[in-house]
Amino acid sequence: MNWRRLLGFDRRSLIALALIAVPAAAVAKPSLLSWGWHGQFGRYDVYADVPPAPQLQAELARSSTLLGASPIDDRALRPTLYLTDGGWRWHLLALTNDRAFAVTRPMLGGTVVNRSDIASDTVFARGYRRTLSGVVAHETVHVLQRERLGLVGFARLPTWVKEGYADYVARESTLSDADVARLRAQGRDDPAIFYHDARLRVSDALTHGETVDQLLRSTS
């Protein structure tokens, strides 16, 4: 009896299945991809292609300091970081978000970072640059928001709170106030303007006495 024929498999469909299943497994668990280096930096479990520059230690310590100023920080959290060179691993894992600085999804079990230069604490995306330490703090805030609110609560959180609070903790936006003023004067739109305004809105709410817990209970 030809079991393969009985099961409806032929060689081409087996190859097609492998081409889908292997990347799907990697997206579900990026550590399955072959990484050249794996180790611990402070609270972070780090995967990278090559041993990271020693500056990463201080940069992730800065991320932790930024997070430590937030009442939702959880020192016991051990987030996983996948540092890519912006190449195939990034595109495979970021999927449709490959224009972002980094991507954090529950399914990924961690944060995947776009091309970075660790020596200068820089991450690159869409012709923009941000600090790696700030981007890691921003992405870790999303993990903390998810821990705090659960998957459903996190999904319902208004985007301006989700992203505005992450940038508020990271103490930076992709665009400076001057960048935003210039883009507005030129009548140009950019998705980063929303993030910039969201950080200011969060900052304004907290300055006026709203607590982070109240902010995370916002419904609109």
- Strand, coil or helix: 99: coil
CB of 101 to Zn ion, least distance (A): 9
The rounded distance, in Å, linking the Cα atoms of 40 and 152 is: 31
Q: Which is nearer to Zn ion, 89 or 199 (CB)?
A: 199
**Rounded (10°) angle between helices 132-156 and 159-170:** 150
The rounded distance, in Å, linking the Cα atoms of 151 and 70 is: 20
Q: Which is nearer to Zn ion, 47 or 165 (CB)?
A: 165
- Token readout for 35 is 């990484």
Binding characters for Zn ion, 138-157, by CB under 5 A (x = yes) = --------------------
CB of 60 to Zn ion, least distance (A): 18
CB of 139 to Zn ion, least distance (A): 7
CB of 163 to Zn ion, least distance (A): 5
Q: Which is nearer to Zn ion, 163 or 172 (CB)?
A: 163
- Strand, coil or helix: 128: strand
Q: Which is nearer to Zn ion, 118 or 143 (CB)?
A: 143
CB of 37 to Zn ion, least distance (A): 26
Binding characters for Zn ion, 165-204, by CB under 5 A (x = yes) = -x--------------------------------------
- Strand, coil or helix: 80: strand
Interface stretch with Zn ion, choices 6-14, 67-75, 158-166, 208-216 (CB under 5 A): 158-166
| Enclosing H/E stretch for 40 | strand 37-41
Sheet containing strand 37-41, edge to edge, reads 37-41, 44-48, 80-83, 110-113, 102-105
The β-bridge partners of 129 are 124
Q: Which is nearer to Zn ion, 59 or 163 (CB)?
A: 163
Q: How far apart are the first and last CA of the chain?
A: 62
The rounded distance, in Å, linking the Cα atoms of 190 and 28 is: 31
CB of 138 to Zn ion, least distance (A): 6
Q: Which is nearer to Zn ion, 89 or 146 (CB)?
A: 146
- Note the residues at the interface with Zn ion (CB under 5 A): 163, 166
